[in-house]
Amino acid sequence: MIKLLPEHYHALLTQAYNDLFRNAQWGKEWKTARTICLNKSENPAPTTDQLRPISMLPTFSKIYERLFLTRFNSWTTRMNILPAQQSGARSHQATTSRVNCLLEQVTQSLRYNSFTPVVYIDFLQAFDKLWQQGLLLKLYRLNCPASYLVWIAHYFSDRTLKIDYGGVESALVNVERGAPQGSCLGPVMYVIARHDIPQCFEHPTQVHAYVDDIALVYIPSIHLKFSSKAVEIEERINNDMTELLNYADKWHQPLNPNKTEFVVYHKISSRRKAIASQYD
């Protein structure tokens, strides 16, 4: 849409955005999302948990976000805010980057151990339950520039949405928590809010995060017997889960036990294969 505007309009838009940045202002209508709900099930009368809300934001507000994000990303990169274990919502760190790191760690562990447990953790409605005040507190502790803090505080405040069903719109609903769905800034704010999560665990280098998903790799000691390895891993997992629950409670980000999984990767030795073949 912007590309279709006459060229002399570009200078006007640039001036308008510069004025908005200067005062950290947001237009009220730019903070209103239009939401449609798609049915995820085959149920003709779906319940609320069977619906997938899709929010659409005004085009000019998304441009405003991207302009800010360019400056904000420069600051996070310069200050090395995000840990190496975090992929997604950042440059040069796609899904394949994190998957490759995870596979490399599991494969290396299997070379020396008979098994490698991995815990896959999911947060409940992660973006929707983002604690905005907690995010601002963390940014303050990270010495985020004051102008950025003010802009982000205004970005989250006074947000509303309206539900569009068949062309009929609902009354405005206040949105008091979470990252705005459909925004380009929301995922970045989420990973900033979770930048410290690897430090919850005993071995931060064995933590793999992709936006709101986390995988914890547990590498047993090569000097222990199998039974001792199992006891060691059980104790480490229990300690880590206790720390994670404390973190989730402190920062108002509940876990989703229904989507949290425990997987054990192992290899069958040639001796076991030979024994198994004798009984086939």
| Residue owning tokens 């040639």 | 270
pLDDT of residue 268: 65
Cβ neighbours of residue 259 closer than 8 Å, sequence gap 6 or more: 122
Residue 233 is assigned to a structural domain of this protein: yes
Domain count along the chain: 1
pLDDT tens digits, one per residue of 161-209:
999 887 889 999 999 899 988 899 999 999 999 999 999 999 999 999 9
Contact 229, 235 (CB under 8 A): no
Is 256 a domain residue?
A: yes
By C-alpha distance, which of 86, 88, 50, 72 is closest to 152?
Answer: 72
Q: Is the pLDDT of residue 233 over 90?
A: yes
Its pTM stands at 0.85
Closest CA to 188 of 144, 252, 244, 146: 144
The tokens for 209 are: 């995060």
- Encoding tokens for residue 172? 């405005």
Residue 65: inside a domain, yes or no? yes
pLDDT single digits (tens) 206-229: 999 998 899 999 998 888 888 898
Beta partners for residue 32, in sequence order = 160
Indicate the SS3 state at residue 60: helix
In a domain, 143, yes or no: yes
List, for residues 43-92, the tens digit of each pLDDT value: 888 888 788 888 899 988 999 999 999 999 999 999 999 998 988 877 77
Whether 7 is in a domain gets the answer no
Residue 99, domain extent: 16-267
Is 280 within the bounds of a domain? Answer: no
Distances (CA, A) of 111 to 107, 127, 157, 220, 264: 7, 38, 52, 12, 15
